[in-house]
Amino acid sequence: MTATALHAQTMVHFSRKRMTALALPLIALAYFVYIFFAFDIAGLGDRINVGNARTLVSDTYSYKTHVTQDNRDGAFSIAIEGERKGAYETGTAPDWVTLGDRPVADLGGGHIVTFGPQVTYDIPGYGTVVAEPGQRGVQATFPPGDIPDYISASKNRVMINTDAGRLTITRNRTEVFKYNYGWELFFFTLDSPYHGLGPVALLGRAVSGEAGAIFHDFWTNRMWRHGDVAWALYETLLMAFLGTFGAAIIALPLGFLAAKNFTPLRSLRFAARRMFDFLRGVDGLIWTIVLSRAFGPGPLTGALAILLTDTGSFGKMFSEALENVDGKQIEGITSTGAKPLQRYRFGVIPQIVPVLLSQILYFLESNTRSATIIGAITGGGIGLLLTQAIATQKDWEEVTYYIVLIVLMVMAMDSFSGWLRRKLINGDEGGH
């Protein structure tokens, strides 16, 4: 080949390379343009719910306390997040509320709400709003001048929304929301004697023999349900564990059936392989639906769904690993007069165990995540708690708590399986 011909050929190759290098990003771009219109991303701005987003974010790091006065009978109640479980007992109140004939709520920064037949709200820099709820609606008087934007007043309803909190007055009730940072009642609910104690005081009580009671109050916290959450996490891990190892135990013998060098019978091999394809192709989602019809919701259903899907995946992987075993070791074992079962035990198993174990442990980690997802569909474990908390659309602090726990659980599982993998596989190599 002459130099010019080589040069020409090289240039053709170069230009082709350049074309593909340019074409690939263009194709990707064209696809994203298509997706932009197919998914109506331009219309996302209209669909986005800013109010929802704001509640979600503020709920994750703060909580609100409802202070409510029934305007018909004067009944007065204080409850965290307005929930029965977080209600203060009659006669008790957080330190920013002063009880009495005319209870006073100090919202901080000079914002003071006084309850009673006549409700007043001192707003710093504006003045005092006086409102009198009654049969004919809410009679409100405002300081002279224009009414600012953060106040909305009508005949039946006055709402004042300041940075310090929110006051709503209607004919039937007067309600104040005060926002505070943190997750209130995380350790103990208000009915527990340990609520509000510092760690040192708690430690002191624990040492003096109340450790069991303290733990009991924490564990049965009705607001955060730590005991139930722990059970849910355990259920999720259980699903992953049972599904993964159950699948591995079932897939191992089937893997031999699908491996070329162990099953000379073509039809048997074909059947085993198609079964693996079927189990994997039907997928966890459909298995979950089918199984939950038979077994009802719960961790067993989730475990079996993982087991079925992974039997397919493991079967395929194991058979591939088995096809790659070294025949010499088996020959060596055979030459000592070993029976078939012994040949498998000492010729094959030691070769494939490290490969299989490492695959199983990878799956164990990823199945922890799958178990969360399957739990959300089939109703078991932490996935169920998460979907329930999201469905209420207000317990976002709990959603955050569950998400943190899920992430920690998956990460712990990741490092655990990594540690076990290193330990077992390196240990095996060291032993030879």
- Say if residues 315 and 258 touch (Cβ distance below 8 Å): yes
Task: Give the shortest CB-407-to-other proteins separation in angstroms.
Answer: 5
Tokens of 376: 């959300």
Q: In terms of CB distance, is 13 or 216 closer to other proteins? A: 13
Q: How far is the CB of 88 from other proteins (least distance, A)?
A: 30
Query: Which pairing describes strands 119-123 and 127-134: parallel, antiparallel, or unpaired?
Result: antiparallel
Smallest distance from other proteins to CB 285, Å: 5
Min dist CB 162 to other proteins, Å, is 25
If the CB atoms of residues 151 and 239 are measured against other proteins, the closer one turns out to be 239
Q: Minimum Å distance from CB 17 to other proteins?
A: 7
Inter-residue long-range contacts of 217-220, CB under 8 Å, 24+ positions, other chains counted: 217/188, 217/189, 217/192, 217/193, 218/187, 218/188, 218/194
Q: Which amino acid is at 16?
A: R
Residues 6+ away with beta carbon under 8 Å from 286: none
Point out which residues pair with 165 in neighbouring strands. Answer: 178
Where does this chain bind other proteins (CB under 8 A)? Answer: 10, 13-14, 17, 28, 31-32, 35, 38-41, 44, 47-49, 52-53, 56, 235, 238-239, 241-242, 245-246, 277, 280-286, 289-291, 293-301, 303, 369-370, 372-373, 376-377, 379-380, 383, 386-387, 390, 393, 399, 403, 406-407, 410-411, 414
The least CB distance from residue 151 to other proteins, in Å, is 28
Query: Is 83 strand, coil or helix?
Result: coil
Nearer residue to other proteins within complex by CB, 27 or 207 = 27
Tokens standing for residue 52 = 């929802």
CB 133 within 8 A of CB 170: yes
Nearer to other proteins, 68 or 370 (CB): 370
Cα Rg for the chain, rounded, in angstroms? 33
Q: Which two tokens stand for residue 254?
A: 């089937």
Nearer to other proteins, 96 or 241 (CB): 241
Q: Whose Cβ is closer to other proteins: residue 132's or residue 414's?
A: 414
Closest CA to 275 of 244, 306, 319: 319
Q: Report which of 275, 406, 428 is spatially closest to residue 355, judged by C-alpha positions.
A: 428
**Pairing mode of beta strands 62-70, 76-80:** antiparallel
Burial of 303 (0-12, 13-18, 19+ CB in 10 A): buried
CB of 363 to other proteins, least distance (A): 12
Give the shortest CB-13-to-other proteins separation in angstroms: 4
Which of 415, 243, 416 shows the shortest CA–CA distance to 314?
243
Closer residue to other proteins (CB): 65 or 301: 301
Helices (H), 144-264: 199-205, 211-219, 226-258
Q: Which CB sits closer to other proteins, 99 or 282?
A: 282
Query: In angstroms, what is the minimal distance from the CB of 331 to other proteins?
Result: 22
Spatial separation of the C-alpha atoms in residues 432 and 428, rounded to whole Å: 7
d(CA 362, CA 65): 45
C-beta of 25 vs 212, nearer to other proteins: 25
